Amino acid sequence: MATCGEVLVKLLEAYGVEQVFGIPGVHTVELYRGLAGSKINHITPRHEQGAGFMADGYARTSGKPGVCFIITGPGMTNITTAMGQAYGDSIPMLVISSVQSRSQLGGGRGKLHELPNQGALVAGVAAFSHTLMSAAELPGVLARAFALFQAGRPRPVHIEIPLDVLVENADALLASQPVSITRPGAAPAAIEQMTRQLALARRPLILAGGGAIDAAPALLQLAERLGAPVALTINAKGMLPASHPLLMGSTQSLVATRALVAEADVVLAIGTELAETDYDVTFAGGFEIPGALLRIDIDPDQTVRNYPPTLALVADARLAAEALLANLPALEPRGADWGAARVSRLCAQLASERDEPTRAQTRFLQTLFDVLPDAVCVGDSTQPVYTGNLTFNPEQPRRWFNSSTGYGTLGYALPAAVGAWLGRRADGQPGGPVLCLIGDGGLQFTLAELASAVEARTPIIVLLWNNQGYGEIKKYMLNRAIEPVGVDIYTPDFIGVARALGCTALAVEGEAQLRAALASAADRQGPTVIEIDELHWQQSIAL
């Protein structure tokens, strides 16, 4: 007899799932009955939040949904933060949990791990939550989840399986096949209208977000044909090469960039929410789009949020960009004051306005990618990440992402880097180093996941930016004339802790030591922790 739990694993394999993150418990062991004989790899984090962050990082580098097996009750409360981060950044994540037997759902009888309603608990951080009331429902609910991942706005999906359903006879489902959904193409009438407006524009501009990441080749050609400056959100970094003359970077929150956007007569916004964390990180307002706004998004609701469009199109970003390109005629060059010339002046102005800490942190980031040009950098909420969001541009997509956007959680970068390393190897992709850039405060949220990285033999490089506390929040309090409280936290011996957990660990001072440490770390089979003291680094660069 094949149980529901065993058939679930077979169906996940059929959908191309190669990796699962989870912590086995008494309520999920039936999921593992089928997992042991499958080709799916399993990673055990030290906390369910870590499982969710690993799944998030895996999805971002592989382009495939990250999958988690989670126990009832505390497992679900633990993973909701990670689901919130994935929900905010539109990351595909499948969370499969157990729940009490059908006759005991919502019974309030004090059963182990009992919650009144797990589905209600995760409703705000999931596209949907479904309770499997019989094994027969399994193929259908998995088809719903993967249809969303394949052709909709991807976000976490939660499927909970009662304990008695997990062991139900599911022989009849062994022949079930996965469903493949084609993403929606672009309506010809809307493409014609958008093409007309773009062709007539004298000062066109493109705002591209993470939802357009697979449209990078077409978007690059579209920008070049239009001679349009391009601003990318944090999750879209790399869609244009760093040296491209039309790339404005990800500086939409800065005054000079806002002035350029305000000059545009037609703005094409594709795969972007136009939300605060990319366009107004100063939290003071002021980002405006006076010109005609053309919006393309996979989510109908999103096309009218934040900034109402002149014209909107619901479609896959890649298909829409290709359709625009195919319909756009060869155009006369724009005026001498637009396109690459205007972007060049903007970039020169922004570089001249950087203060010393920003220059020092930018130099730090440049050093990382000078030594490891193929690296992926997974960031937390910490100062050099904020700086990199403004000043650093990778050469390719899926090379720079962090938790300072969207939900904005701390502790994300370490477990997400583990997942990212595994994701880079999904389907035989070429590998490369994965960097975890995290502050001393953030690292203490998920420090135990260093043990998971050692156990999984993932050679991530943890770059610990140490300012002995919550430095950015302390600065924010001082700027608002608030006496700092709760920000000067105890700083442990991170090198000693990392070594005790099985990592190679060292502290560096200055660029030469950092370069040497990075080169050595890239050749190791397990994780390396490199500690950088913020003050010492800035002093070494100033010298």
Q: Per-residue pLDDT averaged across 245-252, rounded?
A: 96
Binning pLDDT at 50, 70 and 90, where does residue 106 land? confident
* Predicted local confidence at residue 427, as pLDDT: 58
Q: Per-residue pLDDT averaged across 230-244, rounded?
A: 96
| Same domain assignment for residues 303 and 361 | no
Tell me how crowded residue 327 is: count the other CB atoms within 10 A of its CB. Answer: 16
Which structural domain, as residue segments, surrounds residue 529? 354-542
Which of these three, 330, 350, 370, is where a domain ends? 350
34 belongs to a structural domain: yes
183 belongs to a structural domain: no
Handedness of CA 144, 150, 154, 158 (dihedral sign): positive
Instruction: Give dist(CA 443, CA 13) in Å, integer.
Output: 34
Which of these three, 122, 139, 173, is where a domain ends? 173
Query: Is the pTM of the predicted complex or chain greater than 0.85?
Result: yes
Name the 3-class secondary structure at 373. coil
How far is the CA of 288 from the CAs of 228, 268, 306, 401, 430, in angstroms?
A: 18, 14, 11, 25, 41
| Same domain assignment for residues 130 and 24 | yes
pLDDT over threshold 70, residue 430: no
Structure tokens at 427: 């389907």
143 belongs to a structural domain: yes
- Per-chain mean pLDDT for the chain: 93
Q: Per-residue pLDDT averaged across 141-163, rounded?
A: 96
524 belongs to a structural domain: yes
Name the 3-class secondary structure at 470. coil
Which residue, among 258, 303, 306, has the nearest Cα to 282 in the 3D structure? Answer: 258
pLDDT over threshold 60, residue 397: yes
Q: How distant is the alpha carbon of residue 114 from its chain centre?
A: 31
pLDDT over threshold 70, residue 101: yes
Beta partners for residue 528, in sequence order: 461, 504
| Same domain assignment for residues 156 and 92 | yes
| Same domain assignment for residues 373 and 477 | yes
Which of these three, 302, 328, 350, is where a domain ends? 350
Binning pLDDT at 50, 70 and 90, where does residue 335 land? confident
The predicted-structure confidence for 469-528, as pLDDT tens digits, reads as follows 888 888 889 989 999 999 888 999 999 999 999 999 999 999 999 999 999 999 898 999
| Same domain assignment for residues 161 and 27 | yes
CATH number of domain containing 100: 3.40.50.970
- Measure the N-to-C terminal CA separation of the chain; round to a whole number of Å: 71
180 belongs to a structural domain: no
- Edge-first strand order for the sheet with 528-533 is 400-402, 376-379, 434-439, 461-466, 528-533, 504-508
How far is the CA of 241 from the CAs of 220, 359, 421, in angstroms?
A: 9, 21, 22
| Same domain assignment for residues 365 and 308 | no
pLDDT over threshold 80, residue 21: yes
Quote the number of domains for the chain: 3
